[in-house]
Amino acid sequence: MKVLADPEHHATLRRSKPLLFRKDSFERWEDVTHTVHNIEKVHDIDKLGDIEKLHIEKLRDIEKLRFIDRYGRVSTYRHCRLKLLKLILRIIFKFKYKEVIFDKRVIWSTSNPKEYPKCLLFDLKKNQMYLKFNQAKIIKLDLIDPVADASVSVMRPLESGEKTPEIPKRALENEPNSAQNTNEPKRQVTNGSGTTATIVTLTESAVETSGVELSGTSKTNEENVLSDEMLRDEMSSEEMSREKMLGKDHELILDLFQENWDGIIEFEGYTMTRHGCNRRYKAIETMISDCAKRLSKVLDNYSIRELLVYALDFYKKEHCIVMKTEPGYIVYKLQGDVWDEKKCQKPPVILLLRANKYGFDSLKDDQYDVELTIVGGIQFVFRVKEGVKCVKVLLKEETVWVNPVNSTESLRTLVYNLDDGTILVETDRIFKCTKTDGNWVSTTQTPFYLRHYADDGFGDFVPVYIENVRKSKFNPFGYTVDYTGVPNIELVKYYEGNIWKHQLGKPFPKSMTFQKDNSLKAFALKFHRKFIVYEIGQTFYKRYQIDSSTGNSSTDNDLTGNCSDVNDLDGNNSTGNDLDVNGLDDDVYDHYIPDITLFTGDENVVELGSDNYSLDFSKRDDFTFLYTISPEVSCTEIRCSNSPVWTRGPGEGTPVQVCYTERDETLTVAFEDKILFIYGDLLDIVDTQQLPPELTLYKSHEKGELIRLNARDYVIQKYDCEGFEYVINQYVDCTELRHNGTVVWKHREGEPRTTSFIYWPKKTICVVNKCGTAWYKPKLAKWVLTTSINTL
């Protein structure tokens, strides 16, 4: 068949249906939609031109496609939604498909039960199909049958009388999935028939190509991979040794651990508990009492008190041993082959309960426990037992913290840090108490009632106060909590509900974004390649607010699933073993970080590191990822899926922000003077919008001077086609708006902070704050207030 050159095409949508138009040379536009969508209704094909025949022959190949969902049901393209963009036909899936079959052959099968394709892209010009996923990941499908003659392609029209291919009968429902991904780049694995598929997996810096095994008889499940050291510690074949510790010199005990580092030591007269690779030994009272009597014949009482070890904690990874003696604790840290020693005394902390309206009594020794931990530094942890209402803390005679009389909160845990002398108090909230100018000052963890915990190494949780908290750029009630520089977070709680809980061998989150929108609250945990968003509503909030106000602690509930079935660096949620709190198990969403990389340099480009830009995530506007580039960094290239989507041209400035909207898959590149909108299935369509130079925003300096806001102080985006919305960052207070130098709006004292401005060039300006909106329109060369709406 003679193939003509492709004419010029144009696609559009009318009444929710795509239409395709074609134009040859200087001829008028012609509607050729029937060559794409209504191929079953075209009977007299011979009357059509060569180009139209070619389109029909290509599109007949979609008749050979079958999609198998996770329940084994078979679908065709007619069960999907079709959309055309340029010459790319999108077959948008309505169900979750685990296999794609073309001409009776499996050309793709999922290897991750949590990951399903979003749509199939059919490039009509190149005769190539792709699978696209929710995250920025595209898989190229191999449609060529390697068993057939190399010169014969399966991309051919059906012969007359040939029936539509029948799908082979499905195997048993419990048959394991056959697909498996491999992490080795540039490797292809073939099955018995030689069928392969090439997967383009987007990583941080490059596109890796790996093979997919399509055999229907084998599958290797992706198990939770532990480190070699953790694996050895969990094996039942560990070497066991039995030794004596009672009455031995501490140096001899340390030598025993060095000699049996990879084994397990059992000590006579001690009970042993294991937590991962850590060991905890506690002396049996009768045995240590008998040993003390024997030693009293040769040693004085002071030497016996220093020698006898009542408890010992062995931290294998940290190369640390903590011994508890009667005078106090001794922390040994192995540095090379030498043990560094540090003696620690219990701080003079006094815990008090309210005896009456004006008086306090000290807690008895059996009403709380004290232990030393090395998590987050050397710290003493005081745990008040359940039912005891501790309301005041003294350090010697100084009041550190006291609960108001009308409050029902009480102290649960106190953490005294020996390194910096700070004190953490955990109630329904977490307070950090520091001594400033001779007085103890407490600050509350932000946001309120959100609590983080680390593992003390033996299964108990230690509250963690996180200093690095900044306001969200999107939400006036939002915060980003950065976990850099703090111990690995094991548990996140809001009131008494578990937002997230870590599982052994799984990754730890890097940060968390908290956002509040009326009664809905969202917690977005950031992992290496994605965010996991947990949403809770008004019902949950009222339930725990009532419980805390009445002083009754309700049972801990997992709001969502614990982290399971994760990839190498990401956590996925699983609700299999968790309690359902008001049906919140369904309000958990995974949002993969798009594979966007930023580069600098003109000739030899270098990828920008994470310290050269900040990444923010917001539920606002259909889940947005915002990259804010540091002012001192010059970005010269942006890549998505390792393909350049923007390269700086001659005389062009450097981007200030890069914004990716997940729902419509649009990339917005903001400069000081313009915005680029990059969209399309392959991000190959660029629309440039010049920012209105007549609109300027200002903030007040401490001395009263006005400073003009730059593009890093706000997020700008399109609004209703013709308008621009300026969303002011939460750490910026905009106090004035001008149009061509004329003041249109000015912040007045007592007014709430303005969150955004919407500008329709030369027509309307809308000022938005949490209390309402104000509308300004030009009249007689002036901007006047026309409408004011109070939303409270």
- If one compares 216 and 364, the residue with the highest pLDDT of the two is 364
What secondary structure does DSSP assign to 721-745, as a single string? Answer: TTEEEEEE-TT----EEEETTEEEE
Q: What is the pLDDT of residues 500-526, one digit of tens each?
A: 898 877 889 999 888 776 667 888 888
**4-13, 212-221, 547-556, 687-696 — which one is most confidently predicted on average?**
687-696
Rounded to an integer, the average pLDDT of 367-389 is 93
Rounded to an integer, the average pLDDT of 781-789 is 86
Those residues with Cβ within 8 angstroms of residue 435's Cβ, 6 or more apart along the chain or in another chain: 421, 441
CB 512 within 8 Å of CB 547: no
pLDDT of residue 777: 92
CA atoms within 13 A on the CB side of 354: 15
The radius of gyration computed from the CA coordinates of the chain, to the nearest angstrom, equals 33
Query: Three-state SS across 427-492?
Result: CCCEEEEEEECCEEEEEECCCCCEEEEEECCCCCEEEECCCCEEECCCCCCCEEEECCCCCCEEEE
Rounded to an integer, the average pLDDT of 7-19 is 55
Q: What is the pLDDT of residues 222-253, one digit of tens each?
A: 333 333 443 344 333 345 677 888 888 898 89
The pLDDT confidence band at residue 371, using thresholds 50, 70 and 90, is very high
**pLDDT over threshold 90, residue 370:** yes
pLDDT of residue 56: 52
Please give the C-alpha separations between residue 327 and each of 285, 323, 379, in angstroms, as whole numbers.
17, 11, 17
- If one compares 346 and 556, the residue with the highest pLDDT of the two is 346
**pLDDT over threshold 70, residue 765:** yes
Least confident of 12-21, 268-277, 774-783: 12-21
Give the N- to C-terminal CA distance of the chain in Å, as an integer. Answer: 69
Percentage of residues in the chain having pLDDT higher than 90: 25
| Beta-bridge partner residues of 690 | 674
pLDDT of residue 390: 93
pLDDT of residue 641: 82
Least confident of 341-355, 556-570, 763-777: 556-570
**pLDDT over threshold 70, residue 142:** yes
**pLDDT over threshold 80, residue 256:** yes
pTM of the model: 0.54
φ, ψ of residue 17 to 5 degrees: the values are -125, 135
- If one compares 92 and 361, the residue with the highest pLDDT of the two is 361
Rounded to an integer, the average pLDDT of 46-70 is 64
Sign of the Cα torsion 604, 609, 614, 617 reads positive
pLDDT of residue 31: 66
The pLDDT confidence band at residue 541, using thresholds 50, 70 and 90, is very low
What long-range pairs does 387-391 form, CB within 8 A, spacing at least 24? 388/353, 388/363, 389/353, 389/354, 390/351, 390/352, 390/353, 390/363, 391/352, 391/353, 391/354, 391/360
**pLDDT over threshold 80, residue 583:** no
Least confident of 131-140, 193-202, 322-331: 193-202
**59-73, 169-183, 315-329, 354-368 — which one is most confidently predicted on average?**
315-329
Those residues with Cβ within 8 angstroms of residue 711's Cβ, 6 or more apart along the chain or in another chain: 656, 657, 670, 671, 672
**pLDDT over threshold 90, residue 528:** no
Those residues with Cβ within 8 angstroms of residue 146's Cβ, 6 or more apart along the chain or in another chain: 190, 193, 194, 195, 196
Which DSSP state fits 762? T
pLDDT of residue 592: 77
The pLDDT confidence band at residue 492, using thresholds 50, 70 and 90, is very high
CB 479 within 8 Å of CB 447: yes
Average pLDDT, the chain: 74
Least Cα distance to 657 among 593, 598, 712, 610 occurs for 712
Q: How far apart are CA 459 and CA 449, in angstroms?
A: 23
Q: What is the pLDDT of residues 593-633, one digit of tens each?
A: 888 899 998 778 899 988 888 888 776 556 678 888 988 88
Least Cα distance to 33 among 80, 82, 79, 68 occurs for 82
**pLDDT over threshold 60, residue 205:** no
Number of neighbours of residue 192 by Cβ within 10 angstroms:
9
Rounded to an integer, the average pLDDT of 458-470 is 91
The pLDDT confidence band at residue 588, using thresholds 50, 70 and 90, is low
Please give the C-alpha separations between residue 602 and each of 206, 637, 645, 650, 674, in angstroms, as whole numbers.
19, 9, 16, 11, 21
Q: How far apart are CA 717 and CA 306, in angstroms?
A: 69
The pLDDT confidence band at residue 80, using thresholds 50, 70 and 90, is confident
Rounded to an integer, the average pLDDT of 322-351 is 92
CB 117 within 8 Å of CB 109: no
Q: What is the pLDDT of residues 669-703, one digit of tens each?
A: 888 888 888 877 767 778 888 889 999 999 988 77
What secondary structure does DSSP assign to 109-174, as a single string? Answer: E-S-TT--EEEEEEETTTTEEEEEESSS-EEEE----TTS-TT--S--PPPTTPPPPPPPPP--TT
Rounded to an integer, the average pLDDT of 34-48 is 44
The pLDDT confidence band at residue 86, using thresholds 50, 70 and 90, is low
Burial-class residue 117 by CB neighbours within 10 Å (0-12, 13-18, 19+). buried
CB 70 within 8 Å of CB 57: no
Please give the C-alpha separations between residue 670 and each of 216, 242, 495, 628, in angstroms, as whole numbers.
48, 67, 39, 10
pLDDT of residue 601: 86
Rounded to an integer, the average pLDDT of 176-200 is 33
Q: Which amino acid appears at position 323 of this protein?
A: M
The pLDDT confidence band at residue 19, using thresholds 50, 70 and 90, is low
Which DSSP state fits 342? E
pLDDT of residue 297: 86
pLDDT of residue 316: 92
Q: How far apart are CA 676 and CA 683, in angstroms?
A: 12
Number of neighbours of residue 288 by Cβ within 10 angstroms:
17
What secondary structure does DSSP assign to 673-698, as a single string? Answer: SEEEEEETTTT-EEEEEE--TTEEEE
**pLDDT over threshold 60, residue 57:** no
